[in-house]
Amino acid sequence: MDTHVETGDDGIDRAWWNEAVVYQIYPRSFNDSDGDGVGDLSGIVENVEYLDEVGIDAVWLSPVYESPGEDNGYDISDYRAIDNQYGEMADWETLLAELHDRDMRLIMDLVINHTADEHEWFQRSRAGEEPYDDYYIWREGNPEEPPNNWESIFGGPAWSYDAQREAWYLHVFDESQPDLNWRNPDVRREITDVIRWWHKKGTDGFRIDAASHISKTDGLPDGDPDTHPTGIAHYSHGPRLDAYLDELHERTLGDGNVMTVAEMGHTTIEQATEYVAREGNGLDTVFQFDHVGIGDSPEDLFDPEASDEWDLTALKAIVTRQQTEIPWPAPFLGNHDLPRAVSLFGDDEQYHRESATLLATFLLTLRGTPFVYQGEEIGMTNVTFERLEEVEDVMTVSHVEEHDAEGVADSFEDVKGMVNYRSRDHSRTPMQWTDGTNAGFTEGDPWLKLNDNYREINVEAARADSNSVLDHYRDLIDLRHEWDVLVYGDYELLLPDHEQLYAYTRTLGEERALIVLNWSAEPATFESPVPTHDVDPVAGNYMDVPSAPDGTTFRPYEAAIYRD
Q: Hey, which residues are catalytic here?
A: 209, 263
Closer residue to ligand NOJ, CB minimum distance, 430 or 556: 430
| 122 forms part of the interface with ligand NOJ (CB under 6 A) | no
In the bound state with ligand NOJ, the residue whose beta carbon lies nearer, of 177 and 458, is 177
List, as one string, the DSSP characters of 331-380: -BS--TTS--HHHHHS-SSTTHHHHHHHHHHHHTTSSS--EEETTGGGT-
Closest Cα to residue 22, out of 48, 49, 58? 58
Nearest distance from C-beta of residue 263 to ligand NOJ, angstroms: 6
Identify which of residues 312 and 383 has a Cβ nearer to ligand NOJ in the complex: 383
CB of 472 to ligand NOJ, least distance (A): 27
Q: Do residues 242 and 279 touch, judged by C-beta distance below 8 A?
A: no
Phi, psi for 207 (deg, rounded to 5): -105, 115
Chain center to CA of 313? 23
**Spatial distance between the Cα atoms of 136 and 322, rounded to a whole number of angstroms:** 35
Give the pairing of strands 13-14 and 6-7: antiparallel
Tell me how far, at minimum, the Cβ of 7 lies from ligand NOJ, in Å.
34
Please answer whether residues 195 and 107 qualify as being in contact, where contact means their C-beta atoms are separated by less than 8 angstroms. Answer: no
Kindly tell me which residue out of 22, 76, 104, 210 binds ligand NOJ, with binding defined by CB under 6 A: 210
The amino acid occupying position 245 is L
Site string for ligand NOJ, 486-525 (x = CB under 6 A): ----------------------------------------
Report the candidate in 228, 215, 230 with the shortest Cα–Cα distance to residue 264.
215
* Total site size for ligand NOJ, rule CB under 6 A: 9
Query: Which of 300/354 has CB closer to ligand NOJ?
Result: 300
Options 59, 111, 241, 457; binder of ligand NOJ; rule CB under 6 A: 111
Distance CA 422, CA 459 (A): 26
Percent composition of the chain: helix, strand, coil (DSSP 3-state, to 5): 30, 15, 50
b/e for 68-84, b at 16 or more Cβ within 10 A?
ebbbbbbbbbebeebbe
What is the spatial distance between Cα 370 and Cα 282, in angstroms, rounded to a whole number? 19
> Is the Cα dihedral 359, 364, 368, 372 positive or negative?
positive
Distance, in Å, from the CA atom of 515 to the CA atom of 539, rounded to the nearest integer, reads: 10
Residues 320-349 that bind ligand NOJ (CB under 6 A): 336-337
* Single-letter code of the amino acid located at 269: I
State in angstroms the smallest separation of the CB of 295 from ligand NOJ.
Answer: 20
Least Å from the CB of residue 172 to ligand NOJ: 8
**Least distance from C-beta 191 to ligand NOJ, angstroms?**
14
Cβ nearer to ligand NOJ, comparing 152 with 468? 152
Nearer to ligand NOJ (CB atom), residue 188 or residue 336: 336
Query: Which of 66, 117, 162, 209 is the binder for ligand NOJ (CB under 6 A)?
Result: 209
- Positions in 372-431 near ligand NOJ (CB under 6 A): none
Q: Do residues 245 and 144 make contact, with C-beta atoms less than 8 angstroms apart?
A: no
- The answer to whether 396 and 448 are in contact (CB under 8 A) is no
| Position among 32, 40, 57, 71 found at the interface with ligand NOJ (CB under 6 A) | 71
What is the C-alpha to C-alpha distance for residues 458 and 216, in angstroms, rounded to an integer?
44
Least separation in angstroms between residue 113's CB and ligand NOJ is 7
- 3 state SS of 182: coil
Nearer to ligand NOJ, 211 or 486 (CB): 211
Q: How far is the CB of 383 from ligand NOJ (least distance, A)?
A: 18
- Min dist CB 27 to ligand NOJ, Å, is 13
Is 74 one of the binding residues for ligand NOJ (CB under 6 A)? yes
CA angle 337/475/103 to nearest 5° reads: 75
Instruction: Give me the least distance between CB of 332 and ligand NOJ, in Å please.
Output: 12
| Residue number with CB closer to ligand NOJ (426 or 474) | 426
Q: Cα separation of 41 and 156, whole Å? A: 34
Q: Which is nearer to ligand NOJ, 112 or 479 (CB)?
A: 112
User: What sign for the dihedral angle of Cα 357, 361, 364, 367?
Assistant: negative
Pick the closer one to ligand NOJ by CB: 269 or 395: 395
- What distance lies between CA 206 and its chain's CA centroid? 13
Residue 560: what are its φ and ψ, rounded to 5°? Answer: -140, 145
How far apart CA 406 and CA 195 sit, in angstroms, is 43
In the bound state with ligand NOJ, the residue whose beta carbon lies nearer, of 117 and 475, is 117
Q: By Cβ distance, which residue is nearest to ligand NOJ?
A: 74
Which element (helix H / strand E) includes 524?
Answer: strand 524-525
Minimum CB separation from ligand NOJ for residue 539, in Å? 32
Q: Is 262 in the site for ligand NOJ (CB under 6 A)?
A: no
List, in sequence order, every residue forming a beta bridge with 207; answer none if it has no partner: 109, 261
Q: Binding ligand NOJ by CB under 6 A: which of 173, 454, 483, 488?
A: 173
The DSSP H or E segment spanning 403 is helix 394-405
Query: Which residues are at the interface with ligand NOJ (CB under 6 A)?
Result: 71, 74, 111, 173, 209-210, 263, 336-337
